[in-house]
Amino acid sequence: MTDKRRPEPSLRQADRGRRAGIARLSVTLPRDTLMQLKIHAAQHQATMRDVVAAMIQKELGGPSL
């Protein structure tokens, strides 16, 4: 990414004490997309983390978290 004010998306190992085998992913989204994600999560009484994880797992065909 060329914008110095925005960090690159990163993948790093989570703290061992919290959840072994889980990694954290940070992404930068357009404001409108983020707002749609927040609304979608609220409508389904879920966290944004749960909604995004479910979407990724569905797309990849892997097991649900």
Asked if 51 contacts 64 with a C-beta cutoff of 8 angstroms, the reply is no
Q: What is the pLDDT along the chain (65 residues), one digit of tens a residue?
A: 456 666 665 555 545 565 667 788 888 999 999 999 999 999 999 999 999 989 999 999 876 65
Asked if 65 contacts 53 with a C-beta cutoff of 8 angstroms, the reply is yes
46: three-class secondary structure by DSSP: coil
| Angstrom distance (rounded) from CA 22 to CA 29 | 22
Model pLDDT, residue 47: 92
pTM: 0.59
Q: Which residue has the tokens 């919290």?
A: 18
- Domain regions of the chain by residue span: 10-60
Taking phi over 0 as left and psi of -120 to 50 as alpha, with beta for the rest, 4 belongs to alpha
